[in-house]
Structure 1
Amino acid sequence: MADGLALHQVGVRFGGLIALDDVSLTVGPGEVVGVIGPNGAGKTTLFNVVCGFATAHTGTLTLDGRPFRPRPHRLTRLGIARTLQGTGLFAGLTVLENVMAGATHTARTGLIPALLGLPRSDRDERRLREHARAVLADLGITEYADAAPDTLPFAVRQRVALARALAARPRLLLLDEPAGGLGADDVDSLAELIRGLPHRASDPCAVLLVEHHMDLVMAVCDRIVVLDFGRVVATGPPEAVREDPAVVDAYLGAALDEAA
Protein backbone atom coordinates (compact mmCIF):
# COMPACT_ATOMS: atom_id res chain seq x y z
CA MET A 1 0.00 0.00 0.00
CA ALA A 2 1.57 3.27 -1.11
CA ASP A 3 -0.83 5.68 0.58
CA GLY A 4 -1.73 5.72 4.26
CA LEU A 5 -0.19 4.22 7.37
CA ALA A 6 1.55 0.84 7.50
CA LEU A 7 3.24 -1.12 10.27
CA HIS A 8 5.68 -3.75 9.08
CA GLN A 9 6.55 -6.59 11.50
CA VAL A 10 6.69 -4.23 14.46
CA GLY A 11 7.96 -5.51 17.80
CA VAL A 12 8.03 -3.72 21.17
CA ARG A 13 9.56 -4.95 24.43
CA PHE A 14 9.50 -3.50 27.92
CA GLY A 15 12.32 -5.26 29.71
CA GLY A 16 11.48 -8.93 29.45
CA LEU A 17 7.85 -8.30 28.50
CA ILE A 18 6.94 -8.62 24.83
CA ALA A 19 4.19 -6.06 24.19
CA LEU A 20 4.04 -6.39 20.40
CA ASP A 21 5.51 -9.21 18.35
CA ASP A 22 5.75 -9.12 14.54
CA VAL A 23 2.67 -6.91 14.12
CA SER A 24 1.75 -5.74 10.61
CA LEU A 25 -1.29 -3.73 9.58
CA THR A 26 -2.34 -1.04 7.14
CA VAL A 27 -4.82 1.83 7.19
CA GLY A 28 -5.46 3.22 3.75
CA PRO A 29 -7.35 6.37 2.75
CA GLY A 30 -11.08 5.98 3.26
CA GLU A 31 -10.76 2.97 5.57
CA VAL A 32 -11.97 2.30 9.08
CA VAL A 33 -9.72 -0.35 10.64
CA GLY A 34 -10.42 -1.81 14.07
CA VAL A 35 -7.97 -3.32 16.54
CA ILE A 36 -9.48 -5.65 19.14
CA GLY A 37 -8.32 -8.16 21.71
CA PRO A 38 -8.41 -8.87 25.43
CA ASN A 39 -6.89 -6.58 28.04
CA GLY A 40 -3.11 -6.66 27.78
CA ALA A 41 -3.17 -7.74 24.15
CA GLY A 42 -1.05 -4.77 23.04
CA LYS A 43 -3.72 -2.44 21.62
CA THR A 44 -2.66 0.66 23.55
CA THR A 45 1.02 -0.08 22.87
CA LEU A 46 0.22 -0.19 19.16
CA PHE A 47 -1.40 3.25 19.39
CA ASN A 48 1.57 4.55 21.35
CA VAL A 49 3.97 3.33 18.67
CA VAL A 50 2.03 5.19 15.98
CA CYS A 51 2.01 8.34 18.15
CA GLY A 52 5.69 8.17 19.10
CA PHE A 53 5.11 7.47 22.81
CA ALA A 54 6.65 4.01 22.43
CA THR A 55 9.51 2.93 20.19
CA ALA A 56 9.48 -0.13 17.93
CA HIS A 57 12.49 -2.31 18.69
CA THR A 58 11.99 -4.27 15.49
CA GLY A 59 10.17 -3.60 12.25
CA THR A 60 9.32 -0.31 10.57
CA LEU A 61 6.51 2.17 10.04
CA THR A 62 5.72 3.95 6.78
CA LEU A 63 3.43 6.83 5.91
CA ASP A 64 2.52 7.11 2.24
CA GLY A 65 5.27 4.64 1.47
CA ARG A 66 8.00 6.66 3.15
CA PRO A 67 9.78 5.83 6.43
CA PHE A 68 7.78 7.16 9.37
CA ARG A 69 9.41 7.91 12.72
CA PRO A 70 6.57 9.44 14.73
CA ARG A 71 7.12 12.25 17.22
CA PRO A 72 4.16 13.31 19.37
CA HIS A 73 4.59 17.04 18.74
CA ARG A 74 4.74 16.57 14.96
CA LEU A 75 1.72 14.32 14.46
CA THR A 76 -0.87 16.99 13.69
CA ARG A 77 1.34 18.53 11.03
CA LEU A 78 1.52 15.09 9.41
CA GLY A 79 -2.27 14.79 9.48
CA ILE A 80 -2.64 12.41 12.43
CA ALA A 81 -4.88 13.08 15.43
CA ARG A 82 -5.79 10.94 18.45
CA THR A 83 -8.53 10.87 21.05
CA LEU A 84 -7.85 9.55 24.55
CA GLN A 85 -9.65 7.08 26.77
CA GLY A 86 -12.07 9.29 28.67
CA THR A 87 -12.22 12.75 27.16
CA GLY A 88 -9.05 14.60 28.18
CA LEU A 89 -10.77 17.97 27.83
CA PHE A 90 -9.39 21.15 29.40
CA ALA A 91 -11.66 21.97 32.34
CA GLY A 92 -10.69 25.65 32.36
CA LEU A 93 -11.74 26.24 28.75
CA THR A 94 -15.17 26.37 27.17
CA VAL A 95 -16.24 23.75 24.65
CA LEU A 96 -15.44 26.14 21.80
CA GLU A 97 -12.01 26.93 23.20
CA ASN A 98 -11.26 23.22 23.62
CA VAL A 99 -12.05 22.65 19.95
CA MET A 100 -9.99 25.68 18.94
CA ALA A 101 -7.05 24.17 20.81
CA GLY A 102 -7.14 21.22 18.44
CA ALA A 103 -6.35 23.46 15.48
CA THR A 104 -3.71 25.77 16.94
CA HIS A 105 -0.98 24.13 14.82
CA THR A 106 -2.56 25.90 11.83
CA ALA A 107 -2.12 29.35 13.39
CA ARG A 108 0.05 31.63 11.29
CA THR A 109 1.35 33.69 14.20
CA GLY A 110 3.67 32.71 17.00
CA LEU A 111 3.45 33.08 20.74
CA ILE A 112 4.78 36.66 21.00
CA PRO A 113 2.23 38.26 18.59
CA ALA A 114 -0.56 36.39 20.38
CA LEU A 115 0.58 37.61 23.79
CA LEU A 116 0.83 41.18 22.52
CA GLY A 117 -2.58 41.03 20.89
CA LEU A 118 -1.27 42.15 17.49
CA PRO A 119 -3.72 42.38 14.57
CA ARG A 120 -2.39 39.27 12.84
CA SER A 121 -2.94 37.30 16.05
CA ASP A 122 -6.51 38.58 16.20
CA ARG A 123 -7.11 37.39 12.65
CA ASP A 124 -5.76 33.96 13.56
CA GLU A 125 -8.08 33.73 16.56
CA ARG A 126 -11.11 34.68 14.48
CA ARG A 127 -10.23 32.09 11.88
CA LEU A 128 -9.74 29.36 14.49
CA ARG A 129 -12.99 30.31 16.20
CA GLU A 130 -14.95 30.11 12.95
CA HIS A 131 -13.39 26.75 12.11
CA ALA A 132 -14.15 25.40 15.59
CA ARG A 133 -17.78 26.49 15.32
CA ALA A 134 -18.05 24.74 11.95
CA VAL A 135 -16.73 21.49 13.46
CA LEU A 136 -19.17 21.76 16.38
CA ALA A 137 -22.01 22.26 13.90
CA ASP A 138 -20.86 19.26 11.87
CA LEU A 139 -21.11 17.11 15.02
CA GLY A 140 -24.40 18.63 16.12
CA ILE A 141 -23.18 20.21 19.36
CA THR A 142 -23.09 23.93 18.55
CA GLU A 143 -25.49 24.68 21.41
CA TYR A 144 -22.77 23.72 23.91
CA ALA A 145 -20.09 26.05 22.51
CA ASP A 146 -19.98 28.35 25.55
CA ALA A 147 -20.44 25.64 28.19
CA ALA A 148 -17.78 24.30 30.54
CA PRO A 149 -17.03 20.64 29.68
CA ASP A 150 -17.59 19.35 33.21
CA THR A 151 -21.19 20.61 33.16
CA LEU A 152 -22.12 18.40 30.20
CA PRO A 153 -23.35 14.79 29.93
CA PHE A 154 -20.57 12.31 29.28
CA ALA A 155 -21.81 11.51 25.77
CA VAL A 156 -21.58 15.19 24.83
CA ARG A 157 -18.08 15.46 26.30
CA GLN A 158 -17.04 12.48 24.19
CA ARG A 159 -18.33 14.27 21.10
CA VAL A 160 -16.46 17.46 22.09
CA ALA A 161 -13.24 15.43 22.38
CA LEU A 162 -13.87 14.07 18.90
CA ALA A 163 -14.54 17.59 17.63
CA ARG A 164 -11.23 18.76 19.05
CA ALA A 165 -9.40 16.00 17.20
CA LEU A 166 -11.25 16.71 13.95
CA ALA A 167 -10.45 20.42 14.24
CA ALA A 168 -6.87 19.50 13.34
CA ARG A 169 -8.16 18.34 9.93
CA PRO A 170 -6.49 14.91 10.23
CA ARG A 171 -6.29 12.46 7.38
CA LEU A 172 -5.90 9.67 9.95
CA LEU A 173 -7.82 9.68 13.24
CA LEU A 174 -6.87 7.31 16.05
CA LEU A 175 -9.88 6.57 18.25
CA ASP A 176 -9.08 5.00 21.62
CA GLU A 177 -12.21 3.30 23.02
CA PRO A 178 -14.63 6.10 22.08
CA ALA A 179 -17.69 4.05 23.17
CA GLY A 180 -16.51 3.65 26.76
CA GLY A 181 -19.23 4.77 29.17
CA LEU A 182 -21.87 5.33 26.48
CA GLY A 183 -25.41 3.95 26.43
CA ALA A 184 -26.87 1.99 23.53
CA ASP A 185 -28.46 4.99 21.80
CA ASP A 186 -25.24 7.01 22.07
CA VAL A 187 -23.22 4.10 20.68
CA ASP A 188 -25.53 3.91 17.67
CA SER A 189 -25.09 7.65 17.10
CA LEU A 190 -21.32 7.30 17.43
CA ALA A 191 -21.29 4.46 14.93
CA GLU A 192 -23.10 6.59 12.37
CA LEU A 193 -20.62 9.41 12.94
CA ILE A 194 -17.54 7.16 12.58
CA ARG A 195 -18.86 5.53 9.42
CA GLY A 196 -19.22 8.97 7.88
CA LEU A 197 -15.74 10.28 8.68
CA PRO A 198 -13.97 8.86 5.59
CA HIS A 199 -16.72 10.24 3.34
CA ARG A 200 -17.11 13.80 4.61
CA ALA A 201 -17.34 16.45 1.91
CA SER A 202 -14.56 18.42 3.60
CA ASP A 203 -11.61 16.99 5.52
CA PRO A 204 -12.39 13.26 5.15
CA CYS A 205 -10.19 11.00 7.26
CA ALA A 206 -9.37 7.34 7.69
CA VAL A 207 -9.85 5.83 11.15
CA LEU A 208 -7.84 3.41 13.28
CA LEU A 209 -10.13 2.28 16.09
CA VAL A 210 -9.33 0.46 19.34
CA GLU A 211 -12.55 -0.62 21.01
CA HIS A 212 -14.04 -3.27 23.32
CA HIS A 213 -17.62 -2.55 22.25
CA MET A 214 -18.05 -5.31 19.69
CA ASP A 215 -21.29 -4.18 18.10
CA LEU A 216 -19.66 -0.82 17.32
CA VAL A 217 -16.57 -2.48 15.85
CA MET A 218 -18.63 -4.83 13.70
CA ALA A 219 -20.84 -1.98 12.49
CA VAL A 220 -18.17 0.52 11.41
CA CYS A 221 -14.98 -1.32 10.43
CA ASP A 222 -13.90 -2.32 6.94
CA ARG A 223 -11.24 -4.59 8.43
CA ILE A 224 -10.46 -5.85 11.93
CA VAL A 225 -7.10 -6.87 13.39
CA VAL A 226 -7.22 -9.18 16.41
CA LEU A 227 -4.33 -9.06 18.88
CA ASP A 228 -3.51 -11.46 21.69
CA PHE A 229 -0.33 -11.39 23.76
CA GLY A 230 1.05 -8.84 21.31
CA ARG A 231 0.59 -10.97 18.19
CA VAL A 232 -1.88 -10.73 15.33
CA VAL A 233 -4.05 -13.85 15.52
CA ALA A 234 -6.63 -12.87 12.90
CA THR A 235 -7.31 -10.13 10.40
CA GLY A 236 -10.01 -9.52 7.83
CA PRO A 237 -13.47 -8.05 7.27
CA PRO A 238 -15.89 -8.14 10.21
CA GLU A 239 -17.85 -11.12 8.91
CA ALA A 240 -14.67 -13.21 8.56
CA VAL A 241 -13.43 -12.30 12.03
CA ARG A 242 -16.86 -13.03 13.49
CA GLU A 243 -16.82 -16.53 12.05
CA ASP A 244 -13.18 -17.35 12.86
CA PRO A 245 -13.49 -20.21 15.39
CA ALA A 246 -10.19 -19.45 17.06
CA VAL A 247 -11.11 -15.81 17.58
CA VAL A 248 -14.58 -16.58 18.91
CA ASP A 249 -13.40 -19.33 21.26
CA ALA A 250 -10.34 -17.59 22.62
CA TYR A 251 -11.21 -13.90 22.69
CA LEU A 252 -14.72 -12.81 21.88
CA GLY A 253 -17.18 -15.54 22.77
CA ALA A 254 -20.18 -14.06 24.53
CA ALA A 255 -19.34 -10.52 23.41
CA LEU A 256 -19.95 -11.47 19.79
CA ASP A 257 -23.14 -13.31 20.71
CA GLU A 258 -24.44 -10.15 22.40
CA ALA A 259 -23.55 -8.07 19.35
CA ALA A 260 -25.38 -10.42 16.96
Structure 2
Amino acid sequence: MADGLALHQVGVRFGGLTALDDVSLEVGPGEVVGVIGPNGAGKTTLFNVVCGFVTAHTGTLTLDGRPLRPRPHRLTRLGIARTLQGTGLFAGLTVLENVMAGATHTARVGLLPALLGLPRSDRDERRLREHARAVLDELGIAGYADAAPGTLPFAVRQRVGLARALAARPRLLLLDEPAGGLGADDVDTLAELIRGLPHRAADPCAVLLVEHHMDLVMAVCDRIVVLDFGRVVAAGAPEAVREDPAVVDAYLGAAVDEAA
Protein backbone atom coordinates (compact mmCIF):
# COMPACT_ATOMS: atom_id res chain seq x y z
CA MET A 1 0.00 0.00 0.00
CA ALA A 2 1.51 3.32 -1.06
CA ASP A 3 -0.47 5.60 1.28
CA GLY A 4 -1.45 5.14 4.90
CA LEU A 5 -0.27 2.92 7.74
CA ALA A 6 0.83 -0.69 7.24
CA LEU A 7 2.09 -3.36 9.63
CA HIS A 8 4.08 -6.13 7.98
CA GLN A 9 4.38 -9.46 9.84
CA VAL A 10 4.83 -7.79 13.21
CA GLY A 11 5.78 -9.92 16.21
CA VAL A 12 6.09 -8.94 19.87
CA ARG A 13 7.29 -11.06 22.81
CA PHE A 14 7.26 -10.38 26.52
CA GLY A 15 9.68 -12.90 27.98
CA GLY A 16 8.31 -16.28 26.99
CA LEU A 17 4.89 -14.87 26.05
CA THR A 18 4.10 -14.10 22.42
CA ALA A 19 1.75 -11.10 22.38
CA LEU A 20 1.69 -10.61 18.59
CA ASP A 21 2.66 -13.22 16.02
CA ASP A 22 3.07 -12.36 12.32
CA VAL A 23 0.42 -9.62 12.37
CA SER A 24 -0.16 -7.64 9.18
CA LEU A 25 -2.80 -4.98 8.53
CA GLU A 26 -3.31 -1.78 6.56
CA VAL A 27 -5.22 1.44 7.16
CA GLY A 28 -5.54 3.51 4.00
CA PRO A 29 -6.72 7.11 3.67
CA GLY A 30 -10.46 7.43 4.19
CA GLU A 31 -10.81 4.04 5.88
CA VAL A 32 -12.14 2.95 9.25
CA VAL A 33 -10.44 -0.32 10.20
CA GLY A 34 -11.45 -2.22 13.32
CA VAL A 35 -9.37 -4.60 15.43
CA ILE A 36 -11.37 -6.99 17.56
CA GLY A 37 -10.74 -10.12 19.61
CA PRO A 38 -11.22 -11.57 23.09
CA ASN A 39 -9.36 -10.23 26.11
CA GLY A 40 -5.67 -10.97 25.84
CA ALA A 41 -5.79 -11.25 22.04
CA GLY A 42 -3.10 -8.58 21.56
CA LYS A 43 -5.22 -5.56 20.61
CA THR A 44 -3.66 -3.14 23.09
CA THR A 45 -0.17 -4.39 22.27
CA LEU A 46 -0.84 -3.67 18.60
CA PHE A 47 -1.86 -0.10 19.45
CA ASN A 48 1.24 0.31 21.61
CA VAL A 49 3.45 -0.83 18.74
CA VAL A 50 1.93 1.81 16.44
CA CYS A 51 2.40 4.45 19.15
CA GLY A 52 5.99 3.48 19.93
CA PHE A 53 5.37 2.34 23.51
CA VAL A 54 6.30 -1.21 22.50
CA THR A 55 8.98 -2.17 19.99
CA ALA A 56 8.27 -5.01 17.58
CA HIS A 57 10.78 -7.86 17.73
CA THR A 58 10.02 -8.90 14.17
CA GLY A 59 8.38 -7.28 11.16
CA THR A 60 8.16 -3.65 10.08
CA LEU A 61 5.85 -0.65 10.06
CA THR A 62 5.47 1.79 7.18
CA LEU A 63 3.71 5.11 6.71
CA ASP A 64 3.08 6.08 3.10
CA GLY A 65 5.47 3.33 2.08
CA ARG A 66 8.34 4.68 4.17
CA PRO A 67 9.77 2.92 7.24
CA LEU A 68 8.04 4.02 10.43
CA ARG A 69 9.80 3.90 13.79
CA PRO A 70 7.26 5.60 16.02
CA ARG A 71 8.14 7.49 19.18
CA PRO A 72 5.32 8.58 21.52
CA HIS A 73 6.43 12.23 21.68
CA ARG A 74 6.66 12.47 17.89
CA LEU A 75 3.35 10.88 16.93
CA THR A 76 1.40 14.10 16.38
CA ARG A 77 4.10 15.42 14.05
CA LEU A 78 3.63 12.27 11.98
CA GLY A 79 -0.10 12.97 11.81
CA ILE A 80 -1.11 10.24 14.28
CA ALA A 81 -3.28 10.84 17.35
CA ARG A 82 -4.70 8.45 19.96
CA THR A 83 -7.53 8.57 22.45
CA LEU A 84 -7.16 6.84 25.81
CA GLN A 85 -9.45 4.53 27.76
CA GLY A 86 -11.06 6.51 30.57
CA THR A 87 -10.60 9.79 28.59
CA GLY A 88 -7.23 10.78 30.18
CA LEU A 89 -8.23 14.44 30.53
CA PHE A 90 -6.33 16.97 32.65
CA ALA A 91 -8.48 17.66 35.72
CA GLY A 92 -6.90 21.06 36.38
CA LEU A 93 -7.75 22.43 32.93
CA THR A 94 -11.07 23.46 31.43
CA VAL A 95 -12.56 21.53 28.53
CA LEU A 96 -11.32 24.19 26.11
CA GLU A 97 -7.82 24.12 27.57
CA ASN A 98 -7.75 20.32 27.34
CA VAL A 99 -8.59 20.49 23.65
CA MET A 100 -6.04 23.26 23.07
CA ALA A 101 -3.41 20.98 24.64
CA GLY A 102 -3.97 18.53 21.81
CA ALA A 103 -2.85 21.11 19.26
CA THR A 104 0.22 22.57 20.96
CA HIS A 105 2.56 20.90 18.45
CA THR A 106 1.16 23.31 15.83
CA ALA A 107 2.24 26.37 17.83
CA ARG A 108 4.21 28.78 15.69
CA VAL A 109 6.27 30.38 18.45
CA GLY A 110 8.76 28.92 20.88
CA LEU A 111 8.86 28.78 24.65
CA LEU A 112 10.63 32.11 25.24
CA PRO A 113 8.05 34.32 23.45
CA ALA A 114 5.28 32.52 25.33
CA LEU A 115 6.97 33.06 28.70
CA LEU A 116 7.53 36.75 27.93
CA GLY A 117 3.99 37.24 26.73
CA LEU A 118 5.09 38.69 23.39
CA PRO A 119 2.47 39.60 20.77
CA ARG A 120 3.39 36.64 18.59
CA SER A 121 2.59 34.34 21.51
CA ASP A 122 -0.77 36.01 22.07
CA ARG A 123 -1.70 35.59 18.41
CA ASP A 124 -0.71 31.93 18.54
CA GLU A 125 -2.83 31.32 21.62
CA ARG A 126 -5.84 32.98 20.00
CA ARG A 127 -5.39 30.78 16.94
CA LEU A 128 -5.23 27.61 19.04
CA ARG A 129 -8.24 28.72 21.08
CA GLU A 130 -10.32 29.37 17.97
CA HIS A 131 -9.34 26.01 16.51
CA ALA A 132 -10.22 24.21 19.75
CA ARG A 133 -13.62 25.93 19.89
CA ALA A 134 -14.30 24.92 16.30
CA VAL A 135 -13.60 21.25 17.10
CA LEU A 136 -15.81 21.39 20.19
CA ASP A 137 -18.58 22.93 18.11
CA GLU A 138 -18.19 20.20 15.47
CA LEU A 139 -18.69 17.53 18.15
CA GLY A 140 -21.66 19.35 19.68
CA ILE A 141 -20.05 20.16 23.03
CA ALA A 142 -19.01 23.81 22.64
CA GLY A 143 -21.36 24.68 25.51
CA TYR A 144 -19.03 22.86 27.92
CA ALA A 145 -15.89 24.80 26.91
CA ASP A 146 -15.42 26.49 30.28
CA ALA A 147 -16.38 23.50 32.42
CA ALA A 148 -14.02 21.32 34.44
CA PRO A 149 -13.93 17.77 33.02
CA GLY A 150 -14.76 16.21 36.38
CA THR A 151 -18.16 17.94 36.47
CA LEU A 152 -19.32 16.43 33.17
CA PRO A 153 -21.21 13.23 32.35
CA PHE A 154 -18.94 10.42 31.22
CA ALA A 155 -20.27 10.47 27.65
CA VAL A 156 -19.37 14.17 27.34
CA ARG A 157 -15.90 13.55 28.75
CA GLN A 158 -15.41 10.83 26.13
CA ARG A 159 -16.29 13.34 23.43
CA VAL A 160 -13.88 15.89 24.91
CA GLY A 161 -11.12 13.28 24.67
CA LEU A 162 -12.01 12.77 21.02
CA ALA A 163 -11.99 16.55 20.45
CA ARG A 164 -8.52 16.82 21.98
CA ALA A 165 -7.22 14.15 19.61
CA LEU A 166 -8.85 15.80 16.60
CA ALA A 167 -7.38 19.18 17.56
CA ALA A 168 -3.99 17.75 16.55
CA ARG A 169 -5.29 17.55 12.95
CA PRO A 170 -4.37 13.85 12.60
CA ARG A 171 -4.39 11.97 9.33
CA LEU A 172 -4.77 8.74 11.35
CA LEU A 173 -6.74 8.51 14.59
CA LEU A 174 -6.33 5.54 16.95
CA LEU A 175 -9.49 4.97 18.98
CA ASP A 176 -9.00 2.75 22.03
CA GLU A 177 -12.37 1.32 23.13
CA PRO A 178 -14.27 4.61 22.81
CA ALA A 179 -17.65 2.97 23.55
CA GLY A 180 -16.59 1.72 27.00
CA GLY A 181 -19.10 2.83 29.63
CA LEU A 182 -21.54 4.40 27.15
CA GLY A 183 -25.25 3.76 26.93
CA ALA A 184 -27.03 2.73 23.73
CA ASP A 185 -27.97 6.26 22.64
CA ASP A 186 -24.44 7.53 23.25
CA VAL A 187 -23.00 4.61 21.25
CA ASP A 188 -25.25 5.55 18.33
CA THR A 189 -24.01 9.14 18.51
CA LEU A 190 -20.41 7.92 18.67
CA ALA A 191 -20.96 5.71 15.62
CA GLU A 192 -22.20 8.68 13.63
CA LEU A 193 -19.14 10.71 14.66
CA ILE A 194 -16.69 7.94 13.73
CA ARG A 195 -18.31 7.34 10.35
CA GLY A 196 -17.92 11.02 9.58
CA LEU A 197 -14.23 11.37 10.48
CA PRO A 198 -12.81 10.31 7.09
CA HIS A 199 -15.19 12.76 5.40
CA ARG A 200 -14.66 15.91 7.49
CA ALA A 201 -14.60 19.11 5.46
CA ALA A 202 -11.40 20.10 7.27
CA ASP A 203 -8.72 17.64 8.38
CA PRO A 204 -10.31 14.30 7.34
CA CYS A 205 -8.66 11.31 8.99
CA ALA A 206 -8.56 7.56 8.74
CA VAL A 207 -9.40 5.54 11.86
CA LEU A 208 -7.92 2.45 13.51
CA LEU A 209 -10.45 1.27 16.08
CA VAL A 210 -10.02 -1.22 18.92
CA GLU A 211 -13.40 -2.00 20.43
CA HIS A 212 -15.38 -4.72 22.24
CA HIS A 213 -18.77 -3.28 21.28
CA MET A 214 -19.54 -5.42 18.24
CA ASP A 215 -22.55 -3.44 17.05
CA LEU A 216 -20.41 -0.30 16.88
CA VAL A 217 -17.60 -2.09 15.05
CA MET A 218 -19.96 -3.59 12.50
CA ALA A 219 -21.69 -0.24 11.95
CA VAL A 220 -18.63 1.94 11.33
CA CYS A 221 -15.81 -0.21 9.92
CA ASP A 222 -14.90 -0.71 6.27
CA ARG A 223 -12.70 -3.66 7.22
CA ILE A 224 -12.13 -5.67 10.39
CA VAL A 225 -9.08 -7.59 11.60
CA VAL A 226 -9.67 -10.29 14.22
CA LEU A 227 -6.92 -11.25 16.67
CA ASP A 228 -6.83 -14.35 18.86
CA PHE A 229 -3.79 -15.26 20.96
CA GLY A 230 -1.80 -12.62 19.08
CA ARG A 231 -2.50 -13.94 15.58
CA VAL A 232 -4.79 -12.72 12.82
CA VAL A 233 -7.53 -15.35 12.51
CA ALA A 234 -9.80 -13.43 10.13
CA ALA A 235 -9.84 -10.19 8.15
CA GLY A 236 -12.23 -8.59 5.70
CA ALA A 237 -15.52 -6.77 5.36
CA PRO A 238 -17.79 -6.74 8.44
CA GLU A 239 -20.35 -9.10 6.87
CA ALA A 240 -17.71 -11.71 6.03
CA VAL A 241 -15.98 -11.46 9.40
CA ARG A 242 -19.25 -11.85 11.30
CA GLU A 243 -19.87 -15.24 9.69
CA ASP A 244 -16.27 -16.50 9.80
CA PRO A 245 -16.06 -19.77 11.83
CA ALA A 246 -12.71 -18.71 13.35
CA VAL A 247 -14.34 -15.56 14.74
CA VAL A 248 -17.27 -17.51 16.16
CA ASP A 249 -14.86 -19.97 17.80
CA ALA A 250 -12.72 -17.20 19.30
CA TYR A 251 -15.65 -15.36 20.84
CA LEU A 252 -17.52 -18.48 21.95
CA GLY A 253 -14.32 -19.72 23.56
CA ALA A 254 -13.91 -16.42 25.37
CA ALA A 255 -17.50 -16.58 26.60
CA VAL A 256 -16.99 -20.11 27.97
CA ASP A 257 -13.77 -19.09 29.72
CA GLU A 258 -15.45 -16.09 31.36
CA ALA A 259 -18.40 -18.18 32.51
CA ALA A 260 -16.17 -20.87 34.04
Distance 1:183 1:259, change over 3 A: farther
CA deviation map 1:171-220 (0-9, x unaligned): 00000000000000000000000000001111000000000000000000
- Alignment of structure 1 residues 99-248 onto 2, 5 Å: 99-248=99-248
Q: Matched residues in 1 for 2:238 and 2:217: separation?
A: 8
Distance 1:36 1:242, change over 3 A: same
CA apart distance, 1:8: 0.1
TM-score, structure 2 length as denominator? 0.97
Q: Matched residues in 1 for 2:21 and 2:63: separation?
A: 20
CA apart distance, 1:116: 1.2
Distance 1:143 1:253, change over 3 A: farther
CA apart distance, 1:252: 5.5
Distance 1:123 1:5, change over 3 A: same
1:253 is paired with a residue of what secondary structure? Answer: helix
Q: Which runs of 5 or more structure 2 residues have no equivalent in the other structure?
A: none
CA apart distance, 1:251: 1.5
CA deviation map 1:130-166 (0-9, x unaligned): 0000000000000000000000000000000000000
Distance 1:72 1:48, change over 3 A: same
Q: Is the CA contact 2:76–2:105 (under 8 Å) kept in the aligned structure 1?
A: yes
Distance 1:102 1:256, change over 3 A: farther
Q: Which runs of 5 or more structure 1 residues have no equivalent in the other structure?
A: none
Q: Matched residues in 1 for 2:113 and 2:59: separation?
A: 43
Distance 1:96 1:229, change over 3 A: same
CA apart distance, 1:246: 2.0
Q: Matched residues in 2 for 1:251 and 1:57: separation?
A: 28
Q: Matched residues in 2 for 1:103 and 1:18: separation?
A: 36
Q: CA RMSD in A?
A: 2.8
CA deviation map 1:51-96 (0-9, x unaligned): 0000000000000000000011111011000000110000000000
Q: Matched residues in 1 for 2:250 and 2:131: separation?
A: 46
Aligned to 1:30: 30
CA apart distance, 1:250: 2.4
1:227 is paired with a residue of what secondary structure? Answer: strand
Q: Is the CA contact 2:37–2:250 (under 8 Å) kept in the aligned structure 1?
A: no
CA apart distance, 1:109: 1.0
Q: Flag as ranges the 4+ runs of structure 1 deviating above 6 A.
A: 253-260
Q: Matched residues in 2 for 1:132 and 1:229: separation?
A: 40
Distance 1:78 1:218, change over 3 A: same
How many equivalent residue pairs?
260
CA apart distance, 1:115: 1.3
2:108 is paired with a residue of what secondary structure? Answer: coil
TM-score, structure 1 length as denominator? 0.97
CA deviation map 1:223-242 (0-9, x unaligned): 00000110000000000000
Q: Matched residues in 2 for 1:214 and 1:99: separation?
A: 29
Q: Matched residues in 2 for 1:162 and 1:74: separation?
A: 19
Bigger shift: 245-254 or 163-172? 245-254
Q: Is the CA contact 1:10–1:22 (under 8 Å) kept in the aligned structure 2?
A: yes
1:147 is paired with a residue of what secondary structure? Answer: coil
CA apart distance, 1:249: 2.6
Distance 1:189 1:234, change over 3 A: same
CA deviation map 1:100-147 (0-9, x unaligned): 000000001111211111111111100000000000000000000000
Q: Is the CA contact 2:36–2:43 (under 8 Å) kept in the aligned structure 1?
A: yes
Q: Is the CA contact 2:88–2:161 (under 8 Å) kept in the aligned structure 1?
A: yes
Q: Is the CA contact 2:38–2:254 (under 8 Å) kept in the aligned structure 1?
A: no
Q: Matched residues in 1 for 2:259 and 2:100: separation?
A: 36
Q: Matched residues in 1 for 2:190 and 2:259: separation?
A: 16
User: Sequence identity, in percent?
Assistant: 93
Bigger shift: 247-256 or 25-34? 247-256
Distance 1:76 1:259, change over 3 A: farther
Q: Is the CA contact 1:214–1:255 (under 8 Å) kept in the aligned structure 2?
A: no
Aligned to 2:95: 95
Q: Matched residues in 1 for 2:225 and 2:104: separation?
A: 33
Distance 1:148 1:74, change over 3 A: same
Q: Is the CA contact 1:242–1:256 (under 8 Å) kept in the aligned structure 2?
A: no
Distance 1:218 1:255, change over 3 A: farther
